[in-house]
Structure 1
Amino acid sequence: MLPRRSRLTGASSSDRGLPNATVARLPLYLRALTQLRSQGSQTCSSDQLAESTGVSSANVRKDLSHLGSHGTRGVGYDVDHLRAEIAQAIGQTQDWNVVLVGAGNLGTALAAYPGFTSRGSRIVAVVDADPARVGEQVGDLSIESIDQLETIITERSVSIAIVATPGQAAQDVADQLVGAGVTSILNLAPVALRVPEGVDVRQVDVAAELQILAYHEQRKGHPREEAEVSR
């Protein structure tokens, strides 16, 4: 087995010629462009994309320049052309088969979510370690045993996995996924995964994000508290 290595959340994209920050924002632009196209817009400006995504106009222009798109002065960007460029850059010109490990409340909700398919990802299997859950229907899929994980990954050409297990099980699951050939993992478990070189991990920790918001809320309250103390 390859040695484990600690990886920062998010894969380095320097080998693909795009900075990590740019890669993270491209899906936002693609969503905004898709909405503009549905409204009948054929062109758009960097200011429009900035307003739709919450990204500064300067960053929009810089990000798109990495794709070779600079727009036309006085006209802006061709919506269809830019959509195609971004889709190609982030691998949305093909569907990616995904296995979801963990059929708890979060995993079940994700498995039933219909929005993945329209954005290039398709959950083809939901697996769980609880024998009592096997065969239970989740959306259009039946929960399968984690004992079948390697077979599922091989036979269904899976290269991306979602880990939605309890924290104590996540590393063992990641090891199984990597051993079966998965090279990209979206980790929803509240632990940092250690994976070999060449395996990309994205960490999504909702509780941590809420704690960050709580920090900002607390800071917003300080002026009022200080004013009350000074009275």
Structure 2
Amino acid sequence: MATEGTTHHSRDILPEPTLHRLPWYLAYVSLLRAAGIEYVSSTQIARQINVDASMIAKDLSFLNIKGKTRIGYEVTSLEHVLQDFLGFKVGHNAVIIGVGSLGNSLIQDSGLTNYGLNIVAGFDIRPDLEGTSICGVPIYNIDELHRRLPALNASIGIVTVPVERAQEVSDLAVKAGIKALWNFTPFRITAPKGIVIQNTSIYSHLAVMYNRLGAGNTK
């Protein structure tokens, strides 16, 4: 077995595919830690999550942690480093923009706090929602975003509006001071340079799944 050594690199040069895979590793080593397992190798991780062992070793080379030859990585340390590197233990305040069914569900998803995301307010155009709360999270009119954002200390805007409003509310959020947009709509929003955009379209994943199902059923 190759030495499970690592070399530290800057987060600024972290490849995006690697960043997508690191939470998979974290989920697995967290299970190992809960089960009382002390060490794990990249080969063992590879077998469990179906990722090539050499790719795992390369991904983990971006973390400032070293494994032991023929023993592997110390599970508790690896879990801690992954959590720290991914920022899951650092609180990030966010606001929901569009408190429909999806926005409502995200507010009620207490599991997001385990990954450092604190939803502190929701904003919507519906008058009947103004002044209400969901799980203790206050809901305001979207017109109040610019005025309330500084006190909320939120840098992330979660966009869950109808597709035709996506760009409009994104522009409004950036103007109010939002620095990152987590976009759940199928519309590919744009923003000025320096604004982080993460598109998470469940509809795109549905399209892939339906296509693969159809291909698998072809006779």
Alignment-derived partner of residue 119 in structure 1: 115
Query: Alignment partner for residue 89 of structure 1, among 74, 85, 89?
Result: 85
Q: What is the RMSD of the two structures over their aligned residues, measured on CA atoms?
A: 1.7
Question: 8 Å contact 1:64–1:70 — kept in the other structure?
Answer: no
Matches within 5 A, 1:113-192: 113-192=109-188
Q: Any unmatched runs of 5+ in structure 1?
A: 1-13, 225-231
Corresponding position: 1:66 with 2:62? yes
Q: Spell out, residue by residue over 1:33-64, the C-alpha distance to the aligned partner (whole angstroms, 9 max, x if none).
A: 22221111222121332244332222211100
Give me the TM-score of the superposition, normalised by structure 2.
0.89
Overall identity of the aligned pairs, in %: 31
Aligned-pair CA distance for 1:15: 6.8
Poorly superposed stretches of 4+, deviation over 6 Å: none
SS of 1:151's equivalent in the other structure is: helix
Could you say which structure has the greater relative contact order, defined with CA pairs below 8 angstroms and 6 or more residues apart?
Answer: 1
> How much has 1:93 moved relative to structure 2?
3.7
Q: Tell me the residue number matched to 1:7.
A: none
SS in 2 for 1:26: helix
Q: Is 2:186–2:201's contact at 8 Å kept on the other side of the alignment?
A: yes
Report the counterpart of residue 46 of structure 2 in structure 1. 50
Aligned 8 A contact 2:88 2:114 in 1: no
Aligned residue for 2:5?
none
SS at match of 2:111: coil
> Is the counterpart of residue 78 in structure 1 residue 74 in structure 2?
yes
| TM value normalised by structure 1 | 0.84
Q: Give the Cα–Cα distance (whole angstroms) in 1 for the partners of residues 13 and 80 of structure 2.
A: 18
Whole-Å Cα distance in 2 between the matches of residues 100 and 37 of structure 1? 33
Judged with a 3 Å threshold, the aligned counterparts in structure 2 of structure 1 residues 149 and 51 are, in CA distance, closer, same or farther, namely farther
**Maintained 8 Å contact 1:160/1:185:** yes
8 Å contact 1:112–1:140 — kept in the other structure? no
Point out where structure 2 has 5 or more consecutive residues left out of the alignment.
1-9
Partner SS, residue 166 of structure 2: helix
Which residue is equivalent to 1:24?
A: 20
